[in-house]
Amino acid sequence: MYNIVFDLKIEHHYFEELICNALQLQPGPATKKLMSQYPIRLNQIQGTYEFYVNTTNSMGDYLEYLKSKSEDGYLDFELVVIGQEFFGYTNLTIDEIPSYLYTSDSFQNQVESDLIDLSPVLTTNNPVNVFAAVKLSFDDLIAQAESIPQYRITFEARETQWEYFIINRSEIDLSNSSISGNEDIVFEGPDKVVLQNGEEAFKFSSGEQLLRLSEIPKYKFDLISTPPINGNEDARLRNKKIFEGLPNPNPLQMNIIEVDGFKRVSSPMYIYV
């Protein structure tokens, strides 16, 4: 009979349901060797990985046995990224793609209710195609053999400077245009710029206010035009929508910009009106 040893939940706050299909947990070399020799399974259900063994002995005794057959006293796993957009919408370092190690016996781990949050450390020892390595100590698993430990790895969504480039192909007067929305966010601009292809555009930027990326748009912005004031007319009544529902950023389209010596990620979006 198969019994669960532990489960590992992988959550990503870019996604509405926190389930990230761009990451896959795979057995590492040592665990793969054990799985080929003993009745062990790794199942995945909605972003949670469950590790099972088939034994009639007590869980603690069987884990002690597996520990004696292991190479270094750990179960090892590899987190592999499927799809490069993961590196766009995930809050990672800017200059280079990091390589992480998660271990169950790290002092940086946090316990929240019954969940053990694994904290990463940077490493240079992972294979080229492995974004993160996960190592769970047999000693930790044995100590919790009767309670089924629950681990969690969490990723945050990246925050970027949103930039809208409005390309005017209909001769609309954009000199009094602005971006409005139902959020307390003020866009700088419009500033006239020349794009790499030589076209002129009006640029709007969220500036110092970085906005979080999300699978399902959290913000709704419109491009509006506000003609000059005529007497005591209410400015809000003069607003005219030029483009309703501006797009949200594409995680694959990003730039690294430097402001006052600090680097940040910008999300350029090009709108034709």
Burial of 110 (0-12, 13-18, 19+ CB in 10 A): exposed
148 and 14 co-located in one domain? yes
SS3 of residue 37 by DSSP: helix
Residue 103's pLDDT is what? 98
Distance CA 273, CA 170 (A): 6
Domain extent at residue 196: 159-272
User: Domains in the chain: how many in total?
Assistant: 2
For 242, phi then psi, to 5°, come to -95, -40
Per-residue pLDDT of the chain in tens (273 residues, 90 and over written 9):
899 999 999 999 999 999 999 999 999 999 999 999 999 999 999 999 999 999 999 999 999 999 999 989 999 999 999 989 999 999 999 888 899 999 999 999 999 888 999 999 999 999 888 999 999 999 999 999 989 999 999 999 999 999 999 999 988 888 889 999 877 899 999 999 999 999 999 999 999 999 999 999 999 999 999 877 665 656 555 688 999 999 999 999 999 998 888 899 999 999 999
102 and 199 co-located in one domain? no
The candidate with the shortest Cα–Cα distance to 188, out of 162, 168, 225, 214, is 162
Q: Which of 119, 138, 155 is the last residue of a domain?
A: 155
Residue 234's pLDDT is what? 60
148 and 85 co-located in one domain? yes
79 and 212 co-located in one domain? no
Burial of 177 (0-12, 13-18, 19+ CB in 10 A): buried
149 and 25 co-located in one domain? yes
Cα–Cα–Cα angle for 22, 113, 152, rounded to 5 degrees: 20
SS3 of residue 68 by DSSP: helix
